[in-house]
């Protein structure tokens, strides 16, 4: 069995209990060295073989993992955040399927959750947004035409943009086709790492503020009214007049 595990956004205490246990027990670890905090691996055993996948191609990482399994070793593949978000695990799992090798995926705390926590904001605020779009700007990896930023911007929902801070001017151009120029935007660099930085502005000044802060990579762009200062809306969930399966409303009016 090969385990794909999410390492979390950076803080080594933000890995799951299951993920931490597997790192402790691993004979072979292949980790995404460009983004995974090496501190996450500090509980690995003294005899564990550790490979940094940043310097390897898919053939090489597959070979290490498959050979490990054939030698009856416990193999752990560590990805940053949650492996299902831009983790490139699909192609690895496909190769393992072809070899008939079983695997499991252990989820992790994605960086967008780490960044929301750093900002101390809820992404789904009543009356502001009830939808979160996780996306990226097209880079060397193409993005389907129907998912172009300018098209997604039409929803004016909460948007979290990965892998794109180096193209912030283009991002702002695309978003400006629908979001007003005063829409709040936050750029969060290395959320939950000791060197975390947060830049908060609006669509028409975020590019300059981010340049001034010297942020060019490993950051998320978070867009939308969820960042606004007026924060007096309350959700129905805890409202005193709202009955649910678990709680009877105080004024006894049944809502759903």
* Binding region for ligand SAH (CB under 6 A): 9-10, 35, 79-82, 85-87, 110-111, 114-115, 162-163, 188, 190-193, 218-220
CB of 119 to ligand SAH, least distance (A): 11
CB of 166 to ligand SAH, least distance (A): 9
**Residue 202, H or E segment:** strand 197-202
CB of 210 to ligand SAH, least distance (A): 13
Nearer to ligand SAH, 73 or 198 (CB): 198
Q: What are phi and psi of 162, to 5 degrees?
A: -90, 165
220 within 8 A of 121, measured Cβ to Cβ? no
Residue 220: how many other CB atoms lie within 10 Å: 26
Nearer to ligand SAH, 7 or 22 (CB): 7
Nearer to ligand SAH, 115 or 185 (CB): 115
Nearer to ligand SAH, 156 or 164 (CB): 164
How far CA 120 is from CA of 8, 38, 115, in Å, comes to 18, 26, 8
CB of 245 to ligand SAH, least distance (A): 32
How far CA 49 is from CA of 31, 52, 118, 223, in Å, comes to 11, 10, 34, 41
Q: Coil, helix or strand for 43?
A: coil
| CA–CA separation, 31 and 7 (whole Å) | 9
CB of 26 to ligand SAH, least distance (A): 20
Nearer to ligand SAH, 119 or 191 (CB): 191
């Amino acid at each position: 069995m090969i385990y794909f595990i999410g390492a979390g956004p950076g803080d080594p205490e933000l890995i799951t209990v299951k993920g931490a246990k597997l790192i402790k027990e691993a004979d072979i670890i292949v980790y995404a060295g460009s983004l995974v905090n090496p501190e996450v691996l500090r509980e690995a055993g003294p005899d564990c073989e550790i490979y940094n996948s940043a310097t390897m191609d898919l053939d090489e990482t597959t070979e290490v993992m498959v050979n490990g399994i054939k030698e009856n070793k416990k193999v752990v593949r560590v990805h940053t955040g949650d492996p299902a978000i831009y983790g490139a695990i699909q192609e690895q799992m496909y190769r393992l399927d072809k070899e008939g090798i079983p695997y499991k995926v252990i989820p992790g705390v994605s960086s967008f959750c780490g960044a929301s926590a750093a900002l101390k904001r809820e992404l789904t605020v009543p009356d502001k947004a009830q939808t979160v779009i996780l996306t990226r700007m097209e880079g060397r990896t193409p993005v389907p035409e129907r998912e172009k930023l300018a098209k997604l911007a039409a929803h004016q929902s909460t948007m979290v943009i990965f892998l794109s801070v180096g193209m912030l001017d283009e991002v702002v151009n695309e978003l400006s086709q629908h979001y007003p120029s005063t829409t709040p935007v936050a750029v969060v660099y290395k959320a939950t790492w000791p060197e975390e930085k947060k830049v908060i502005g609006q669509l028409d000044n975020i590019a300059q503020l981010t340049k001034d802060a010297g942020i060019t990579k490993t950051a998320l762009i978070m867009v939308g009214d969820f960042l606004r200062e007026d924060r007096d809306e309350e959700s129905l969930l805890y409202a005193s007049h709202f009955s649910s399966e678990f709680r009877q409303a105080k004024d006894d009016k049944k809502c759903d």
